[in-house]
Amino acid sequence: MISLFPKLAQFILAGIVCSAIQGLLAQSSRDVRGPVDDWPYYGHDAGGTRYSPLSQISRQNVTTLKVAWTFHVGDISDGSGHKKRSGLETTPILVDGTLYLTSGFNRVFALDPETGAQRWVYDPMIEIAGDYGDGLINRGVAAWLDPARAKGKPCGRRIFETTLDARLIALDALTGEPCRDFGNRGQIGLRDVARYIPAQYHMTSPPAVIDDVVVVGSAIDDNSRVDMPSGVVRAFDARTGALRWKWEPLPPNDSESTSASSGKPWRTGAGNAWSVMVVDQERDLVFLPTGSASPDYYGGLRPGDDKWADSVVALRGKTGEFVWGFQLVHHDLWDYDSASPPLLTTVQHDGKTVPVVIQGNKTGFLYVLNRDTGVPVFPVEERPVPQTDVPGEVTSPTQPFPLAPPALVPQKLSADDAWGITPEDRQVCHERLKTLRNDGLFTPPSLRGTLSVPGNIGGMNWSGYAYDPQHSLLVVNTNNLPARMGLIPADKYWDEVDKNTEDADYTQQSGGPYGLFRTFIFSKAHHLPCAPPPWGTLTAVDMTTGTIRWQVPLGSLAPGNPAVPVGAPSLGGPIVTAGGLVFIAGTLIDPALRAFDAETGKELWKTQLPTSGGATPMTYQTRKSGKQFLVIAAGGHRGVTEEPQNDSIVAFALP
């Protein structure tokens, strides 16, 4: 017995030493890796800042990023066989050690964040051949933890998805099974809205969750008719699915309704919140970005400002009570939706820390508003704008112009400024521009044709922006594509459609006196935009001073061709990390994922994706390996037939 003591003592001592060394190594590893961080909301946090505190991937090592895993959702539609073309616009979320994402067919996937291995998949069985105006797309899901349900019980953590065929579905986060106590065995129908039209009323963005309430908006097709479905926003009990409240962005639309501002009959619809919503849990506020009233390009049957279309609106989370609203475009005639999600942060202004809502618009303007009141932090003034010459239309006499920050895109283009890669292209562009009505920003649609700068995809679209609190920078990707648009008298509409010889959109705007045509203005030979490049930029705005810190071209419409200037339009936004990096894909035609220095805008890293990544990336660090991953959906843009389609979710990590 005595002879064993020395060996036992040695064994114990060795164990103590080993434990101490392991502890030091673990501590060192934690110091290197930084905080372990999830991505529990579409925009990382409830306020949608898209900022990650992770710094394992840094300016110094970003060039060594490699593909860690790839997952294929398997859902692609090329638009044949009566189906719409699909896209892959999902931004995954990470909660409780599982990655959740969606396909364009509304299938929900749960993946292992370390390996990309599938844990479960749920298929809501939508009608793939439905005539969904936005195509087959979905941008993701929302998560909710029930504090009243014991850990490990079914549906303690719920995953919520809204579908193209207008349903709200609640799934058990652990198994993917529908939560049977929610609505009708796990789902509720969302079609109970005024003037509902099948397929033209659908959902593409994730719902918002505040406390125990799930808030949903809707996507409504543009321009097909005057009296489109109501853009009502609704909130449902997260446990039962019972309707808690609803809010209408526009006044009632029927034969007896009148516009408060003009006293004339009122016929319209939409004004819907189709983009991503954000919440302030502490203030019990939900922030909605609203779109245009129907139809987009003729407002003679919806006189007045059309409040609260084209606005950012704050509602009380518990009751739906209207708290405040700020309208970015009065009586919209340009499809200038508030497409970008609101972003909640705090800024330093006049020596004070101010809680704000930042809201961008397709005009290229950024509005910075006090979060409690909606009052502009940087001044906004109403300025006179061009007036209509279309019979029956009454344009708004003024529009709101922020004095800071400055517009992030060009807002005018003369025929003499026409651009082309060759003299012949320039001449064609010059001739196309000089025939159009062109009085600058907010030139209304006309019967002869009007130049719209920016066009209807931006400025800022649903891509949104990211906020870097380390440097007080808002990072924004913008588009610079001029468009030709105008109105056609209803009795001449089909004759004009039959004569169409260009790739233009024609919509009837049924129920109104005018149909619509619109198309982006490109040169004939090389099919490049007629506006001087760049046609897409990445900009950092100093939110303390309201000035532009840096601005760089983003991507290329002809990757690898030095004869074509850089800068491509993009749909899919940026994120920012504490590693001093901006990550973004999104560029049309250009299938790259890029990293930029957040302080300077210098491009530090670029890698090729299977096709363009028309989505916003996300990043997280796992508890198992301690690795930071960067994830992007690469499926191609649904409206760009020149891009190959794909179904890839690609994760990157350091070697």
Query: Which pTM value belongs to this model?
Result: 0.93
Least confident of 32-46, 101-115, 236-250, 518-532: 32-46
146 belongs to the catalytic site: no
Residue of 172, 335, 468, 647 with catalytic role: 335
For the residues 21-38, what does the mean pLDDT come to? 49
Find, among 378, 370, 149, the residue nearest to 280 by Cα.
Answer: 370
Q: Residue 635: its pLDDT value, please?
A: 97
* pLDDT value at 258 more than 80: no
The per-residue pLDDT for range 350-370, each reduced to its tens digit, is 999 999 999 999 999 999 999
- The mean predicted confidence, pLDDT, of the chain is 92
Domain boundaries, the chain: 27-223+411-653
* pLDDT value at 488 more than 50: yes
Give the dihedral of Cα atoms 339, 287, 102, 242; nearest 10 deg. Answer: -130
Q: Residue 137: its pLDDT value, please?
A: 96
The per-residue pLDDT for range 535-544, each reduced to its tens digit, is 999 999 999 9
Cβ–Cβ contacts within 10 Å for residue 354, how many? Answer: 16
* pLDDT value at 499 more than 90: no
Percent of the chain with pLDDT over 90: 86
Residue by residue, what is the 3-state secondary structure of 277-310? Answer: CEEECCCCEEEEECCCECCCCCCCCCCCCCCCCC
Q: Residue 9: its pLDDT value, please?
A: 35
Q: So what CATH class is 27-223+411-653?
A: mainly beta
H-run or E-run covering 433:
helix 423-434
Q: Which amino acid is at 629?
A: F
* pLDDT value at 295 more than 50: yes
Confidence band, pLDDT 50/70/90 cuts, at residue 286: very high
Output 25 or 394, whichever has higher pLDDT: 394
Residues with Cβ within 8 Å of 453's Cβ and at least 6 positions away in sequence, in order, are: 410, 411, 412, 413, 440, 441, 482, 483, 531
Percent of the chain with pLDDT over 70: 93
* pLDDT value at 336 more than 90: yes
Cis before 534? omega within 30: yes
The per-residue pLDDT for range 39-89, each reduced to its tens digit, is 999 999 999 999 999 999 999 999 999 999 999 999 999 999 888 999 999
Least confident of 150-154, 340-344, 583-587, 614-618: 150-154
Find, among 272, 229, 266, 228, the residue nearest to 249 by Cα.
Answer: 272
380: helix, coil or strand?
A: strand
Cα separation of 36 and 73, whole Å?
A: 27
For the residues 237-261, what does the mean pLDDT come to? 84
Cα separation of 48 and 296, whole Å?
A: 28
